[in-house]
Structure 1
Amino acid sequence: MEFTDPDRTRLAVLGSPIAHSLSPPLHAAAYDVLGLPFTYGRHEVASGGLDAFVAGLGPDWRGLSLTMPLKRDVLPMLDRTTPLVDELGVANTVAFRQEGDRVVLAGANTDVEGIVRPVEALGHLPGEATIVGGGATAASALAAAVRLGAVDVRLFLRDTAKAGPLVELAVRLGVTLEVLPIDSLPGTTHGFLVSTLPGGAADSLELVPSGPDAVLFDVAYEPWPTAAAGRWGAAGGRVLNGLDMLTEQAIGQIRFFVSGDESELLPDEAEVRRAMRRSVGLPDAITG
């Protein structure tokens, strides 16, 4: 397939910790189906190290996927941003684009669609939502909940004093946000819950589905299943794997890397998705 800037073929995921990331096999599977000569690696980059890493990149670099703790660190470095990055203040994707004799850094957020598409695949459109955790992914989860139809959202945090940015975002999104301490979870039930905590961090929490159609989207995937996901499923609820999100946000990133537009479908995208899901041990379709 044709793509812009054909001399730019190197890509990688950055973050800390990063050794567990399954982004490399996901992207490799997609580029194999698409017939693209891209290589995709992983690099450990801690907070404060992104500027130096980018400064050391050569002209063959095409883009970067960003995970914690870099999704906000990157913002001052970006020359172009999508409206969603501007709205959320979070970017998980950077593309290097040649404009004349200048290299432009363009940023996008594909995490929101990474949550929205798997939930839509289950046919679940919640009127209310719960988010556990307050990091960069929580902002994307809040925007995703609104896109899915939620008008009331509960946010559970270990430190409610840190809720300010998410409260401001909720106002901009026009959604009612109730901020609660995480130790008030016992005794509550949830129709749609997104846990944005890293792997294992939610294992001691009491997360209880409100009924058989209730969905837990646990963005962690290592180890899997998490104890929280196991208990939710045993209680009769439906569970989405963090790899479902990883796959869908990666598809948005690949679109952005290839065409510059994360909403432009890839050629034979259904086959690309199947290959990506198989590469990380997922079934061909989302089942919950």
Structure 2
Amino acid sequence: MSQPQPHDIASAKEQSSPTPAPSIAHLEKVSFLFGYGIAHSLSPHLHNTLYSALKLNYQYLLYETRNLEECLHIARTEPKFYGAAVTMPFKVAVIPHLDVLTPEGEAIGAINTIFLRSSPDGRRLLCGTNTDCIGIREAILQNVSKGDAKNMEGKPGMIIGGGGTSRAAVYALKHFLGCSDIYLVNRDKYEVDQVIAECSSKGFGDGLKYISSVAEAEKLEGPKVIVSAIPDFAPKSETEWTTRKIIETILGKKEKGAILEMCYHPSPNTAIDALARTAGWKVIGGVEAMIWQGLEQDKIWLRRKMSTLPVEQVKEAIAAEVSKPHL
């Protein structure tokens, strides 16, 4: 496969390309979302709304491919490139190809953001970080009172799921929100064992507990904050039904708190959302996390303070997009 050429590089040359590759000759700077299965992404609306509000001749484009080398070629050689978001299947695979990792990227072991810095000799350095943990943190802190946030410190938290987002959630709950124990609920114990092992190897695995049964859940102190990071599928297998019953047991405890429901596609009206609202929990939609992780990316790419970014305009644009029937 030929390498992408500068000024004509916005989509992969695979049968899966969502749109024809546009020219970038008219742009001052360009960034991308590198990944596969990204046609539904809200990220272009977020970043391009921000650039428009700041009157920057920048654009954020989808680059859909399974070929990591194509993405790295762009990042290393395209003069107008200033950064990229990274999603599946590259969030771990890209790490060995980067020159620098931030503490968050190193600890979480997954990268969702590439940004540029220069070495003393002027060489372009590809740097990687993880802003998912910032998105989780800000989605929670921006939507609860200071008192409720303070009550999370030293109290249990809970994470539903065992995928890549779970690692960022553990980091956020441990490092930013000060949770003590963190309950991990998932249909697949092996996935959770991997999360615990990886977090432990990076120094923040203390207090992580896999919850395997309703009986165990009934004995636990209720968490003050929950992050749900699973798709919105109805339970079918025995382990899926057990997981659902554990979640219902935890949500039904006397202690209530805030739950961040990360799933918002194809609809934010998930089963977990409904269960939590019925049980009296404060529900925060996953779009909030997506917005804040994206704003953090622009803060890094543009080297600006968050206070200088058009946060409300971005929120309004994303809310309008989410409300469209096709989403």
Instruction: State TM-score, norm by structure 2.
Output: 0.73
Contact 1:158 1:183 in 2 (8 A): no
Which of 183, 192, 200 aligns to 1:154? It is 183
Q: Tell me which amino acid in the other structure corresponds to 1:275.
A: Q
Q: Which whole-Å CA distance do the structure 1 matches of 2:156 and 2:128 have between them?
A: 30
Partners of 2:116 and 2:135 in 1: how far apart? 22
Q: 1:216 aligns with which of 259, 279, 292?
A: 259
Superposition deviation, residue 275 in structure 1: 0.8
Deviation at residue 39 of structure 1 after TM alignment = 0.4
CA distance in 2, matches of 1:248, 1:211: 30
Structure 1 pair 139/8, CA: closer, same or farther in 2 (3 Å)? farther
- How many angstroms apart in 2 are the aligned matches of 1:197 and 1:279? 25
Is 1:167 the equivalent of 2:185?
Answer: no
Conserved 8 A contact 1:114-1:247: yes
Please give the alpha-carbon distance, in whole angstroms, between the structure 2 residues aligned to 1:221 and 1:88. 23
Shift of 1:59: 2.1
CA distance in 1, matches of 2:217, 2:156: 18
**Contact 2:44/2:62 (8 A) holds in 1:** yes
Taking structure 1 as reference, are residues 152 and 53 closer, same or farther at Cα in structure 2, changes over 3 Å only? same
Q: Distance in 2 between matches of 1:26 and 1:148?
A: 26
Mapped to 1, the partners of 2:213 and 2:42 lie a distance apart of 29
Q: Match of 1:198?
A: 231
> How has the CA–CA distance of structure 1 residues 20 and 185 changed in structure 2, closer, same or farther, with 3 Å as cutoff?
farther
**1:286 aligned partner:** none
Q: Measure, in 2, the Cα distance between the counterparts of 1:143 and 1:280.
A: 26
Show the counterpart of 1:141. 169
Q: Which moved further from structure 2: 226-235 or 247-256? A: 226-235
2:82 to 62, 74, 88: 62
Per the TM alignment, residue 13 of structure 1 is displaced from its structure 2 partner at its CA by 1.6
CA-CA distance at 1:182 after TM superposition: 8.1
1:23-60 CA distances to partner (integer Å, 9 max, x unpaired)? Answer: 111111111222221101223234xx222332256322
Query: 1:215, CA displacement in angstroms?
Result: 1.6
1:275 and 2:313 equivalent? yes
- 1:117-132 correspondence to structure 2 within 5 Å: 117-121=138-142, 122-123=144-145, 124-125=148-149, 126=152, 127-132=155-160
Structure in which a larger fraction of residues adopt strand: 1
2:196–2:205 Cα contact (<8 Å) kept: no
* Alpha-carbon offset, residue 17 of structure 1: 2.1
Percent identity over the alignment?
26
| Residue 201 of structure 1, CA deviation | 7.0
Paired residues of 1:10 and 1:39 also in contact (CA < 8 A): yes
RMSD: 2.8
Q: Which has the higher helix share?
A: 2
Mean Cα deviation higher: 11-20 or 77-86: 11-20
Q: What residue in structure 2 maps to residue 235 of structure 1? A: 279
- Paired residue for 1:41? 61
User: Residue in 2 aligned with 1:50?
Assistant: 68
The 8 Å contact of residues 72 and 136 in structure 1, kept in 2 or not, is answered as: no
Task: Give TM-score scaled by structure 1 length.
Answer: 0.82
Q: AA paired with 1:239?
A: V
Aligned to 2:116: 96
Unaligned runs of 5+ in 2: 1-26, 321-327
C-alpha separation in 2, matches of 1:252 and 1:170: 26
**2:302 paired with 1:265:** no
User: SS where residue 293 of structure 2 aligns?
Assistant: helix
Contact preservation (8 Å) 1:170, 1:177 = no
